[in-house]
Chain A
């Protein structure tokens, strides 16, 4: 199989927010603007197909921005660590297909950790 050219697609932009202490994993940045090209590039390196960009791809891409020794505070075996809540455009991602949710242009994704003390 020859892989399809991803360049056919237009790139999309996503806004990612971190709350509940997660920002500490990302240089104390409270939000990041992510372009789909960054994710695609990462997936290419992983030799994963890039036809559709899913939440899971975003999560694994984001984990590459974390220091290696802190990565398991965000991902666990390539999935989002349990105890981190996600909102897609202010809606619980459990209603939006979770990791399989297909990313769309101008979507706003918020990650909130519940693992920090109260």
Chain B
């Protein structure tokens, strides 16, 4: 007396859709799940042919399913985009190191190039270091602020046009609730948008905006996708957890709550007379900021000076300005802690990478070339392609000392390896 699928009327139903309350079979589920995401992508104009798209990959369920589905859809519907996996290593032992292993497996399974960048290399501090310095109370602030920038920095290093993240409908509803409860009007506006302008480099979008978490987990389960699920060692007391529990209780009573909250969030408009903070660039690193210094720079300064409370909670705006002035007057802080690479520099490098690529595509008629990855090639502008068809050992044409032996077949990976220096 098993129930039949309400869509095909043939197979046994295995899932009750939270969105429609329909009972559907496995095959129909795959089809509607993937097709709805395809519609979201098309209706919101997320991709254009030739675009380079980075998938923010944590190794968790959402980004794993996103990578799998985007790869499938890109092939099925010929989006013509190039996909990359971009992972941030926050430096949390027993959590991120394990989940990065999952991302590495995904790289193999889905044959997508992967780039990992760490907080340690970007900021000079891993999350483990930060927790040691600040304790367990405010560490999530550091992690969140640093991650946002890290993704943008990684995107520039890969020179992609677009970042997609695995935020699902439940996550977005949760964020809307949190922003309401915190009175964060500026973020309330931004968090419901499917595409955001991006902080200083490329656009960001959330193809799972209307996708229920339940369906993502079920999809991963039925497809036997390999994902990692351990709670971050530092997060159990986070505010988000309470919002999440509340939301899940609501969903259990009425599954449409999730989409209803998103609808409400979208409908909330800020009155035009309310002034939203103006966005400009951080004087220190060039990242988008509504103050003279961006939050990451203030937090980092606090860490480096041994006053980690700097920038946490209600720090006075004048303090931030003072910090900015100090920085400008004392330009030589030799021996001081690591400074972040300026965004303009990253942009310049990305630009160069792009020109190289275009040049290469022109020369090769758009076909895939071979890059030299070895020898002394340590700067992106030095990359030259070796002849793909040569069967004999050849010197890399830019006389870096490398040979076609050390060339990699995947041009993207080669670029990544080189530019991560």
Contacts and interface: CB of A to CB of B under 8 A. Distances in A.
Interface of A: 19-21, 24, 81-83, 85, 87, 90-92, 94-95, 110, 112-118
B374 interface: no
A19 B231 contact: no
Interface in B1-40: 2-3, 12-16, 23
A93 B412 CA distance: 44
Interface stretch (B149-157, B241-249, B323-331): B241-249
B221 interface: yes
A19 B224 CA distance: 12
A92 B245 contact: no
Interface string B221-243: 11000000111100100000000
B63 A24 contact: no
A83 B58 contact: no
B16 A116 contact: no
Contact of B58 (A82, A95, A110, A117): A117
Contacts of B166: 118
Contacts of A19: 221, 229
B243 to A, nearest CB: 12
Nearest to A22: B229
Contacts of B251: 82
Contacts, number: 70
Closest 9 CB pairs of A and B: A118-B62, A118-B60, A83-B248, A82-B248, A94-B16, A82-B252, A21-B229, A116-B229, A92-B15
Contact of A95 (B15, B170, B221): B15
B214 interface: yes
B15 A117 contact: no
Contacts of B63: 118
A113 B16 CA distance: 17
A87 B296 CA distance: 43
Interface string B284-320: 0000000000000000000000000000000000000
A94 B231 CA distance: 26
B230 A91 contact: no
B221 A114 contact: no
Nearest to A21: B229
A81 B170 CA distance: 16
Contacts of B60: 116-118
B339 interface: no
Interface residues of B, number: 34
B178 to A, nearest CB: 15
Interface string B62-106: 110000000000000000000000000000000000000000000
Contact of B230 (A81, A85, A90, A116): A116
Contacts of B217: 20, 85, 112, 114
Contacts of B16: 92, 94-95
7 contacts: A19-B221, A20-B229, A82-B248, A82-B251, A87-B221, A115-B248, A117-B235
Contacts of B218: 85, 92
Nearest to A84: B248
A90 B223 CA distance: 12
Given A83-B244, A90-B14, A114-B213, A24 B230 contact: yes
B229 A113 contact: yes
B61 interface: yes
Contact of A118 (B2, B58, B248): B58
Contacts of B221: 19, 87, 110, 112
Given A21-B230, A82-B249, A118-B61, A91 B12 contact: yes
A96 B214 CA distance: 17
A91 B14 contact: yes
Contacts of A87: 221
Contacts of A118: 58, 60-63, 166, 168, 171
Interface in B244-296: 244-245, 248-249, 251-252
A44 to B, nearest CB: 30
Contacts of A24: 230
Contacts of B2: 91
Contacts of A90: 14, 222
B15 to A, nearest CB: 5
A19 B225 CA distance: 12
Contacts of A94: 16
Contacts of A20: 61, 217, 229
A30 B214 CA distance: 20
Contacts of A115: 244, 248
